[in-house]
Structures are given as C-alpha cells and as structure tokens.
Amino acid sequence: MLLHLLSSLMFWLPLAVAVFWAVGAYNRLVRLRGQALSAFAALDPALVKQVELAQSNLPDMGLTGQTRPADLGDEADTLWLALRAASHQFSASLSALRPRPLDTRHAAAVAAAWAVLEMCWNRLQNEAHDLAGPALPENLVTQWQHLSSQLMPLREQFNLSVARYNQAIGQFPALLLAWLFQMQSGREI
C-alpha cells in the first residue's frame, strides 16, 4: 500500500508542478502582452495628436492629386507636399496597426512612416525660409516640440513593454507555451 502511494505520488507531484508552472508562465505571458497593449493604448492618442498637428497646418496648395513636385513653385512647396504625403502615410500606417499593435509588419511601417514624418517636419522647419521668414511659425514649432517631448516617454514605455514580452516568449520553456498558444513577438516603434 505504501509503495503504491509512493509511486502514485512520484507520478502526480511532477505533473502538478508542471501544470502549476504552465499556468503561471502563461499568466505571465498574457500579463506582459497586456502591458504592451496598454502602453500602445497610451501612445496612440499622442501619435494622433502629432499627425493632426501636421495635417491641420498644411497650406491649401490647390493640390488635386495630379500635382507633381515639378509643378510646384519653389522648394518650400515641395517640402509642404512631402509633409502632406508623410502625414497621410503615417496616419494610414497607424490605422493599420491599431487592431493588432504587436503586428511586426505594421509596427515597422509605423516606425518608418514616423521617421519620414519627423524628417519632413525638420526639413520644412530648417530649410523652408523666404523673405517673410521661416515657413513654420514659432508657436507651431513649439507645439510640435511639446508633443514630441510628451511622446518620447510613451514610446519608450511601449518599446520597453514589447522588449519584455519578446524576451519572455523567447525563453525556454515559456517559448513552448508561446508556440502552443500562437503568441507572436512584437516590434518596437
């Protein structure tokens, strides 16, 4: 009887430990994924504010969609057109990322579009000067800088959350659970 109880205990004890470990590891992966999704939920409105600031201050250049940069009057017009295109691309990329914030393809598109938007804004700020002065009024530059400073900690928090999640699903034996439950790694933006 004692031998039977001992052999039964030797079977059930490791099984119980494995089940409890699996539940704990799964809960940790779900919690880390949830933290990354929450971080994106905080970042998204700030990104929208930045793109809205850019789009709301685009001059009406009478663009019909058939205008080419060569048709425009000067370099400043070309820079404005580039900012318009970059803001629309960023907005579209962000819309595609919203349903699945950890999707690597869409996150890469957002990261690239964001970099292009910032580059276009900086070029317009630094290169588009005429006799009347800079193309961007000082208050607009200040608003952009303020939004950018608000974005940086939110972006860092999202990227840190994604990095923690990716690290967790990449560790053995948790990667077996990630594979079993089809948890895909995310991408920082």
pLDDT in tens, 64-103: 444 444 444 578 889 899 999 999 999 999 999 999 999 9
| Count of beta carbons in the 10 Å neighbourhood of residue 20 | 10
Half-sphere exposure of 137 (CA within 13 A, CB side): 8
CB 168 within 8 A of CB 185: no
DSSP letter at 133? E
Handedness of CA 135, 93, 99, 184 (dihedral sign): negative
C-alpha distances in Å from residue 131, one per residue of 97, 134, 138, 154: 41, 8, 16, 38
Q: Give the structural domain span for 130.
A: 19-59+69-180
Q: Would residue 33 count as lying in a domain? A: yes
Q: Would residue 103 count as lying in a domain? A: yes
Q: Would residue 161 count as lying in a domain? A: yes
| Count of beta carbons in the 10 Å neighbourhood of residue 108 | 15
With pLDDT > 70 as the criterion, what percentage of the chain qualifies? Answer: 88
The structural domain count of the chain equals 1
Q: Would residue 3 count as lying in a domain? A: no
Q: Would residue 13 count as lying in a domain? A: no
Question: Distance between CA 144 and CA 133 in Å, rounded?
Answer: 18
pLDDT at 72: 47
With pLDDT > 90 as the criterion, what percentage of the chain qualifies? Answer: 58
Question: Distance between CA 155 and CA 173 in Å, rounded?
Answer: 30
Q: Would residue 186 count as lying in a domain? A: no
SS3 60: coil
Q: Would residue 97 count as lying in a domain? A: yes
SS3 67: coil
pLDDT at 69: 46
DSSP letter at 72? S
Q: Would residue 6 count as lying in a domain? A: no
CB 77 within 8 A of CB 155: no
CATH code of the domain covering residue 146: 1.20.1440
**How does residue 11 score in pLDDT terms, banded at 50, 70 and 90?**
confident
pTM, two decimal places = 0.81
